Amino acid sequence: MEQLIYGINPVLEALKKSPDKVLRVVVVREAQKNYRIRNMINLAKKHNIRFDFIPKARVSTLTRDGNHQNIFAYLSDFEYQNLDYITKTLPKGNRKILILDSITDPHNFGSILRSCVAFEIDAVVIKDRDSCSVNETVVKTSSGTAFDAKVVMVKNLNNTVEFLKNDGFMVLGADKSEEAISYENYDFSGDLALVMGSEGKGIKRLTKSKCDQLLYIPISSKVESLNVSVAAALFIEKISKF
């Protein structure tokens, strides 16, 4: 099954980092003289990737997103990673994994992946249900960095948490309940997995009960909560310092 992505940065990242996944590139004919697009056409040629030109009037048949920047690419399905393989190949003692519990908004997911790549989180775990998968909006929002992220899709988060704990991970939960402590002075050294829930519902009750420690980000009383992608970026940046 093909996956459509669009925009200069996402398509360029795909051509540079995963050319074997690019099936074909589609360019709006009126934009082919743009130097960045010309360079991408040349890159497609270098990798023997088919490219087609379409009139601007046909763009609406591909996407309704006006921010397509006149270039599209069809990719083979996103390749999810194996968690067991990742944990075994990483050196123990400083493995860092982010677990997303029911994050459904692709813009939030894309922003989170971008932060994970920027601060070198080793893997991102998502559920195969009730969660956003890696799609064209995620790739676009991540500015193509989704191709650098190691994303793992699992059937059961609770089993995954238990698997990580048995492998020596400390499992943390981002939550503002009474038993949570501030993340500001927390020691994030060692093998860590951080669970983050959706903005509306937070971490599921059973998953939360399996966390070794709950942490919150202190914010002004004028603000009820942070967007999950903003909160994730703050946690991830903090974790990266250890």
CATH architecture of 83-239: 3-Layer(aba) Sandwich (3.40)
For the record, the structure tokens of 207 come out as 């998953």
| Spatial separation of the C-alpha atoms in residues 80 and 5, rounded to whole Å | 17
Place of tokens 């994050």: 103
| Domain boundaries of the chain, sorted by first residue | 2-76, 83-239
Q: What percent of the chain has pLDDT over 90?
A: 81
Specify the CATH number for 2-76; select among 3.30.1330.30, 3.10.20.590, 3.40.350.10, 3.50.50.60: 3.30.1330.30
**Mean pLDDT confidence for 90-99:** 97
The percent helix, strand, coil of the chain (3-state, each to 5) is 35, 25, 40
Predicted pLDDT of residue 1:
66
**191 with 95: CB under 8 angstroms?**
yes
Q: In what order do the strands lie in the sheet with 192-197?
A: 151-154, 123-127, 96-101, 192-197, 170-174, 213-216, 181-182
Q: What's the pTM value of the predicted model, to 2 decimals?
A: 0.89
Report the share of the chain in percent with pLDDT over 70: 99
DSSP string, 58-90: GGGGT-S-S--TTEEEEEEPP-PBPHHHHHHHS
The pair of structure tokens assigned to 237 is 């940046």
> CB of 83 within 8 A of CB of 152?
yes
**pLDDT, tens digit (0-9, with 9 covering 90-100), for 41-58:** 999 999 999 999 999 888
Query: Rounded mean pLDDT of 205-229?
Result: 95
For 117-156, b/e burial (b = at least 16 CB within 10 A) is bebebbbbbbbeeebbbbbbbbbbbbbbbbbbbbbbbbee
Place of tokens 């997995």: 193
What's residue 49's pLDDT? Answer: 96
Higher pLDDT, 178 or 1: 178
In this structure, the dihedral spanned by the alpha carbons of residues 231, 139, 12 and 23, taken in order and rounded to 10 degrees, is: 160
2-76 shares its CATH topology with 83-239? no
What confidence score (pLDDT) does residue 136 get?
86
**pLDDT: which is higher, 33 or 88:** 88
